[in-house]
Amino acid sequence: MDGSSPIAVRDRERFEASPAAALAVDCLLAGIEAAQPSAVIDERVSLDGATLAIDGTTYDLDAADRVLVVGGGNAAGRVASALEGVLGERIDDGIVVTDDPVPLDRVASITGAHPVPDDAAMDGANQVLDLVDGATERDLVLGVITGGGSALLPAPAGDVSLADLQDLTDALVRSGATIDEINAVRKHVSALKGGRLARAAAPATVATLVFSDVVGDDPATVASGPFSPDPTSYAEARSVLERHGIDAPGSIRRRLDRGAAAGTTGAAAETTDAAVGATDATAGDSDATAGNSDAAEAPTETPGPDEPAFDAVDVHVLASNDAAIDAAAEAARDAGFDSLVLSTRIEGEAREVGTVHAAIADEVRASGRPIEPPAVLLSGGETTVTLGDASGAGGPNQEVALAAALDLADPSTVIASVDTDGIDGATDAAGALVTGDTVGEEVSAATARAALDAHDAYPVLDDAGALLRTGPTGTNVNDLRVIVVLNER
């Protein structure tokens, strides 16, 4: 499987004593395995002679001078490896940026940091831009776009530095902003996101292979949509900062202000020296040199759907949360359990989602609604955590689990929640698995509530032996949750 072993939970024996916990782990692993690039590419991409088929769309490789593979994200290395398995020497060049590298023969792999971008990721993103910028109308560009690509393909634009981008990313995540809001800002401070990579690749033919980690699978949102038209604007990006009270670095505020002042798609942000000075004064930035440099850039709006650059771009969403949920449900049925998918589109504050999942589990056991126990219920989506000034350790899936554990009534009921990339927040855990006994026996209710208030779920769940550790999984199709209710009414 892309040169790696099947996904496993470390110290899995801790969960084997409980049939419900063992089943929950089986369902989670089945979902993650189904979204592995090797399995997805094998099913959706094929080569017959010189004809490359991607999800039913064909490309004549004999008509292409070069086949280039470029992109980034948690799964980008493994997608590139799977493409090498299909295309072999037909690939002429390529660069991917990932935090989970695997050996590659035809494509260069750069290891960057996630979820906070680093110098290596920025260098890799710039190399991707340089490679596609030289593409011609006789080249075929295979764009590998997966979850995590926003951090792993940073490419800050204009006067925006990597440090500014790091500060912005941290502030956006802490604010509780939605992924759509976060990406609206990211797109407008990047030389690559929001369709700008498609603009750079024109006039080449582009086939984009998307592994979606966002609710609804909008390719304009996955990795901030490098090859997709951007429906947002500088004004909308600026309003995100205002709405969430984010004090962004001066270079970012100046760029958004001038872009918003331009007002029309694709128009240069023309400003007078007086307007620039007024904007800088409002921003409280005394660095006149930085202000003038950024002003000279005259940022343009991200390309919209009418941009000619998209005329030769195809987007193929090859993997999503649906595939993981379906595989997890099949694993439950194989084990003899009825299963029910609650939703693949659950969003909201993590602890509130955990409370709701506990209520659903208790309803199933008490009334048989919406399904008779014993049963497995599944959900997907992406929850958020509004950190504010908190500095605790954990992630959204850990908060879902700990909040659920507080309210679960039945000791035998299990709720597990993981990020399918194996990295929940900035921790070494994918998520956690809790039962109705986790709070009470393993941790006190007061300790659990205090941990949730401080956004410090990790140490509490670690002490309780509830953390699920898989390591990087090589894929990313959003969050996956499993509820197992064993007891019949």
Q: 171-189 burial string, b = 16+ CB within 10 Å, else e?
A: bbbbbebbbbbbbbbbbbb
Q: Which two tokens stand for residue 479?
A: 């969050």
User: pLDDT > 90: what percent of the chain?
Assistant: 84
Q: How confident is the prediction for the chain on average, in pLDDT? A: 91
Give residue-wise pLDDT tens across range 390-429.
788 999 999 999 999 999 999 999 999 999 999 999 899 9
Q: How far is CA 425 from CA 163, 273, 405, 443, 452, in A?
A: 20, 43, 19, 22, 14
pLDDT in tens, 92-143: 999 999 999 999 999 999 999 988 899 999 999 999 999 999 999 999 999 9
Average pLDDT on 338-365 reads 97
Taking alpha carbons only, the member of 231, 61, 223, 207 closest to residue 132 is 207
- The whole-model pTM stands at 0.88
Q: Tokens 């604007």 correspond to what residue?
A: 233
What pLDDT is recorded for position 142?
Answer: 98
Tracing tokens 């509490």 back to the chain, one arrives at 460
CATH of 13-17+321-485, one of 3.40.1480.10, 3.40.640.10, 2.60.120.10, 3.40.190.10: 3.40.1480.10
| Superfamily covering domain 37-319 | Glycerate kinase, MOFRL-like N-terminal domain (3.40.50.10180)
The tens digit of pLDDT for each residue in 273-330 reads: 333 333 343 444 434 344 444 444 558 999 999 999 999 999 999 999 999 999 999 9
- Domain residue extents for the chain: 13-17+321-485, 37-319
* pLDDT one-digit tens code per residue, 240-260: 999 999 999 999 999 999 999
Give the C-alpha distances (Å, rounded to integers) separating 201 from 254, 304, 318: 28, 15, 21
Q: What residues contact 50, with CB distance under 8 A and at least 6 apart?
A: 60, 61, 62
